[in-house]
Amino acid sequence: MNGPVRYLSLVGALLVSASALAQGNPEQGKQLVMQGDGSGAPCMACHGQDGGGNNAGGFPRLAGLDENYLAKQMRDYNSGSRTSPIMQPNVDNFSDQQLQDIAAYYAAMPVPATKAPAADDALMAQGEKLALQGDWDNYIPPCSSCHGPDNGGMGDVFPGIAGQHPNYIASQLRAWQAGSRSNDPNNLMVAVAERLTDQQITAVAAWLGAQPASAAKGGK
Ligand code: HEC
Ligand code: HEC
């Protein structure tokens, strides 16, 4: 019932429906990012001045991600379908329009060089295979079938994951497995994550993180 055909037809349907227009004002967004929401720390304390995030801290790069994807994530923290005790307090006082403005600001930022160093050859080869070919024996489609040919993102539903920090990628896959992130449309991501072994998570996160960050700008 959960075979590859089902995934791929859902992906097509989501891409067709992903037509919402970006409406944020990046200048307003910049102001809000500088100020914070009044209760949390300023965004750059964790996500960096350049929006590049930080691997050791588990802070994702935001620069260059799709505007509507980013806005959705912040609304999801506020609604509780995505939980993070670290992130939640930072955006809970913003209105939906303010979240859209902040998203527009980060989406327009140039992608800084955050490429992770390559891990050992065997791990990288395993990660590359999962990302580009999947593991059909275990019903795992290639990440690129949804996240775009270079995993740089497709439309506003499928975020760029190439050049994202490995620790962050791994933490999100484990969050879907544990149920603390359940905001993916049609459970598309949980269905992938729950089939991955811990070792596969380490491999695919290492490979994706080592891909050029510039690939993350594509996919529009
Ligand atoms: C104390 C550190 C910290 C601060 C301050 C912070 N964040 Fe975050 N942010 C995180 C962490 C950690 C995550 C990943 C949490 C998770 O696992 O869901 C995250 C995730 C996000 C995401 C989701 C990214 C994605 O790829 O899905 C967005 C968007 C975001 N933060 C925006 C902001 C904005 C805007 C601000 C300032 C108003 C801010 N953050 C302040 C730590 C922080
Ligand atoms: C069937 C489609 C599909 C496939 C295949 C897929 N993903 Fe996803 N993925 C999604 C969707 C949809 C989202 C966005 C969920 C949301 O809106 O929060 C997502 C989000 C993510 C995120 C969160 C990014 C962020 O910025 O927070 C990571 C990490 C991720 N996927 C990794 C992977 C990896 C690794 C693979 C391959 C092993 C993969 N995905 C395969 C659909 C897919």
Q: How many residues does the chain have?
A: 220
Phi/psi of residue 195, nearest 5 degrees: -95, -10
Could you please state the CATH topology (level 3) that the domain comprising 22-108 is classified under.
Cytochrome Bc1 Complex; Chain D, domain 2 (1.10.760)
Contacts with 148 (C-beta within 8 Å, 6 or more apart), sequence order: 154, 158, 160, 218, 219
Give the burial class of 81: count Cβ atoms within 10 A of its Cβ; 0-12 exposed, 13-18 middle, 19 or more buried.
middle
What span, in angstroms and rounded, lies between the C-alpha atoms of 182 and 220? 25
pLDDT computed for residue 214 by the predictor = 62
**For a pocket test of ligand 1, which of 39, 44, 90, 99 has the largest count of ligand atoms closer than 8 A to its C-beta?**
90
Q: What residue numbers does the annotated binding site for heme c cover? A: 43, 46-47, 87, 143, 146-147, 189
Could you please state the CATH topology (level 3) that the domain comprising 114-217 is classified under.
Cytochrome Bc1 Complex; Chain D, domain 2 (1.10.760)
pLDDT computed for residue 19 by the predictor = 46
Mean pLDDT for the chain?
88
Residue nearest to atom 13 of ligand 2 (CA): 158
For 16, the token pair is 């067709």
For 168, the token pair is 């962050």
The CA-atom distances, in angstroms, between 160 and each of 70, 156, 209 are 11, 10, 11
Which of the listed ranges 5-9, 91-95, 99-103 does the model predict with the highest average pLDDT? 99-103
> Closest ligand 1 atom to the C-alpha of 172?
17
Give the burial class of 28: count Cβ atoms within 10 A of its Cβ; 0-12 exposed, 13-18 middle, 19 or more buried.
middle
**Could you read off the pLDDT of 195-215 as tens digits, one per residue?**
999 999 999 999 999 998 665
Q: Is the pLDDT of residue 40 over 80?
A: no
pLDDT computed for residue 173 by the predictor = 98
**Could you read off the pLDDT of 114-146 as tens digits, one per residue?**
678 888 999 999 999 999 999 999 999 999 999
pLDDT computed for residue 1 by the predictor = 41
Q: How confident is the model at residue 2 (pLDDT cuts 50, 70, 90)?
A: very low
**For a pocket test of ligand 2, which of 75, 81, 146 has the largest count of ligand atoms closer than 8 A to its C-beta?**
146
Q: Centre a 10 Å sphere on the Cβ of residue 6 and count the other Cβ atoms it contains.
A: 13
Domain ranges of the chain: 22-108, 114-217
Q: Is the pLDDT of residue 38 over 60?
A: yes
pLDDT computed for residue 138 by the predictor = 95
Question: Closest-lying ligand to the alpha carbon of 29?
Answer: 1
